């Protein structure tokens, strides 16, 4: 694989046009290192590290207390250093060709990246990693459409200094803004009622698939999912409060229910209704067939989700896979390369980044070292060249 410094000078009309090629790494003591140092393996690991770092730093953005936020950033920086060091050790091991060194390096990376089928919680109670662990050639995918049972009555939310708040949380925000002499309150319609609950029913035709050992089983999904809004500082965050899904797979049925004891279950959406649904679930066989090994009794899952403008419909998975061991979603772009966050990695991202770098904007600090400089240029161009789309 090209080194992080190998794309310092973009050629005129340069288009790499390479889409993500996913390599699935085996878990467990019997890990085979054959092929674990290919370019696609290195690229997949780099993608996963970028996503883990992106999640860690974004988790700090919503912490209002400056002391806790600073501690969160320090925690994210420490995790970033550990991941970068582990990745460098992996590249060094690959260069030696030693199977034992490669295995040890991969094991160290897996300890930092995988949650052992549960969320890894940081010192401040934040989820620092949230991927489901599968084997080398295994994947689970969901393509589920849900529609609300009954109508949803929109309720106004309050905007304080360009941020959205549910009514119950807006008072404290307005008070804080007033103390800073920067109060600006406006109302706009839309979104769930504060502390309200909406139940979605699974639309017929929704599917899931399980791929293992070269075989793919496709099944159907039935049931419902309940989502509640919460009086938090942004109306883009919701909590799944109940999930009762029945999976019909390979002639057997399995139930998937929400682990309500997990405080980190959440659905987070952006202004366009796109985001992620993160939840810990339990699987149980409802018939005589044993539970498949890759439907563990408990699993922490993060799935792409999209909600329509009227909040009456949810799409989960959108066909994207919940992939193996050290995993990425093929439907999501690299978080560094997709600089303008439009879901594509293209020339517009390069233009936006170069402008931000020229102006020394904080957004250009893609390596999160506190300054926008040539090191950020090298990192961005490396990711953009690898993940840019024709």
Q: For 2-55, write each residue's pLDDT tens digit.
A: 333 222 222 223 222 222 222 222 222 222 333 467 776 687 678 778 877 876
Would you list the DSSP string of 273-299?
SEEEEEEEEEEEESSSSPPPTTS-SEE
> How does pLDDT run across 313-344, given as a tens digit for each residue?
888 875 544 433 333 333 346 788 889 877 77
Average pLDDT of span 220-249 = 74
The rounded distance, in Å, linking the Cα atoms of 140 and 281 is: 14
pLDDT at 267: 81
Q: Which of 63-67, 107-111, 165-169 has the lowest mean pLDDT?
A: 165-169
Do 184 and 222 sit in the same domain of this protein? no
User: Cβ–Cβ contacts within 10 Å for residue 62, how many?
Assistant: 15
- Domain membership flag for residue 93: yes
Q: Which of 91-95, 96-100, 114-118, 385-389 has the lowest mean pLDDT?
A: 114-118
Do 56 and 107 sit in the same domain of this protein? yes
pLDDT at 235: 46
Do 173 and 225 sit in the same domain of this protein? no
Do 107 and 222 sit in the same domain of this protein? no
Do 215 and 310 sit in the same domain of this protein? yes
The rounded distance, in Å, linking the Cα atoms of 301 and 119 is: 9
Q: Which of 47-51, 76-80, 123-127, 360-364 has the lowest mean pLDDT?
A: 123-127
Closest CA to 242 of 222, 265, 217: 265
- Domain membership flag for residue 378: no
Counting the structural domains of the chain, the total is 3
- Domain membership flag for residue 346: no
- Domain membership flag for residue 337: no
- Looking from the CA of 55 toward its CB, the CA atoms found within 13 Å total 23
Do 111 and 164 sit in the same domain of this protein? no
Do 292 and 247 sit in the same domain of this protein? yes
- Asked if 217 and 230 touch (Cβ cutoff 8 Å), the reply is no
Do 150 and 290 sit in the same domain of this protein? yes
What six digits make up the tokens of 114? Answer: 């995988």
- Domain membership flag for residue 349: no
pLDDT at 54: 78
> How does pLDDT run across 266-286, given as a tens digit for each residue?
787 776 777 778 777 777 888
User: pLDDT category, 229, cuts 50, 70, 90?
Assistant: low
- Domain membership flag for residue 318: yes
Average pLDDT of span 171-189 = 50
The range of the structural domain enclosing residue 61 comes to 21-130
pLDDT at 365: 92
Do 199 and 240 sit in the same domain of this protein? yes
pLDDT at 214: 60
- Domain membership flag for residue 339: no
Q: Which of 130-134, 269-273, 282-286, 294-298 has the lowest mean pLDDT?
A: 130-134
- Domain membership flag for residue 255: yes
Do 147 and 276 sit in the same domain of this protein? yes
pLDDT at 364: 93
The rounded distance, in Å, linking the Cα atoms of 133 and 141 is: 13
Do 56 and 166 sit in the same domain of this protein? no
pLDDT at 273: 76
What phi-psi label fits residue 387: left (phi over 0), alpha (psi between -120 and 50 degrees) or beta?
alpha
Average pLDDT of span 97-103 = 84
Estimate the share of the chain in helix, then strand, then coil, as percent rounded to the nearest 5. 30, 25, 45
Do 88 and 146 sit in the same domain of this protein? no
């Amino acid at each position: 694989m090209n080194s992080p410094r190998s794309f310092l000078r973009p050629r005129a009309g340069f288009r790499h046009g390479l889409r993500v090629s996913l390599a699935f790494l085996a878990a467990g003591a019997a890990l085979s290192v054959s092929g674990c140092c290919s370019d696609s393996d290195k690229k997949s690991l780099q993608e996963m590290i970028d996503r883990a770092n992106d999640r860690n730093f974004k988790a700090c953005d919503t912490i209002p207390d400056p002391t806790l936020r600073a501690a969160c950033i320090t925690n994210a920086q420490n995790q970033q250093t550990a991941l970068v060091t582990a990745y460098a050790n992996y590249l060094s091991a690959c260069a030696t060709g030693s199977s034992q060194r490669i295995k040890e390096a991969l094991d160290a990376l897996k300890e930092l990246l995988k949650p052992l089928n549960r969320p890894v919680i940081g010192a401040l109670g934040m989820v620092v990693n949230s991927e489901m662990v599968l084997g080398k050639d295994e994947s689970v995918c969901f393509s589920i459409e849900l529609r609300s049972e009954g109508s949803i009555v929109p309720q106004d939310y309050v905007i304080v200094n360009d941020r959205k708040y549910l009514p119950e949380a807006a008072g404290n925000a307005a008070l804080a803004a007033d103390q800073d002499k920067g109060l600006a309150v406006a109302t706009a319609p839309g979104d769930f009622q504060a502390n309200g609950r909406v139940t979605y029913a699974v639309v017929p035709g929704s599917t899931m698939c399980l791929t293992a050992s070269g075989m793919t089983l496709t099944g159907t999904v039935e049931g419902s999912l309940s989502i509640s809004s919460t009086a938090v500082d942004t109306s883009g965050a919701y909590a799944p409060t109940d999930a009762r899904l029945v999976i019909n797979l390979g002639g057997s049925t399995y139930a998937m229910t929400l682990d309500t004891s997990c405080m980190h279950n959440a659905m987070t959406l952006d202004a366009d209704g796109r985001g992620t649904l993160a939840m810990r679930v339990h699987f149980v066989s409802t018939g005589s067939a044993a539970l498949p090994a890759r439907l563990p009794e408990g699993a922490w899952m993060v799935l792409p989700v999209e909600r329509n403008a009227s909040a009456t419909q949810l799409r989960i998975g959108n066909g994207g896979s919940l992939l193996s061991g050290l995993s990425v979603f093929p439907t999501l772009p690299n978080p560094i390369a997709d600089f303008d966050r439009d879901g594509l990695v293209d020339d517009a991202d390069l233009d936006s980044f170069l402008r931000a770098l020229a102006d020394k904007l904080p957004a250009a600090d893609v390596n999160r070292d506190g300054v926008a400089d040539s090191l950020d240029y090298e990192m961005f161009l490396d990711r953009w060249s690898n993940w840019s789309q024709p």
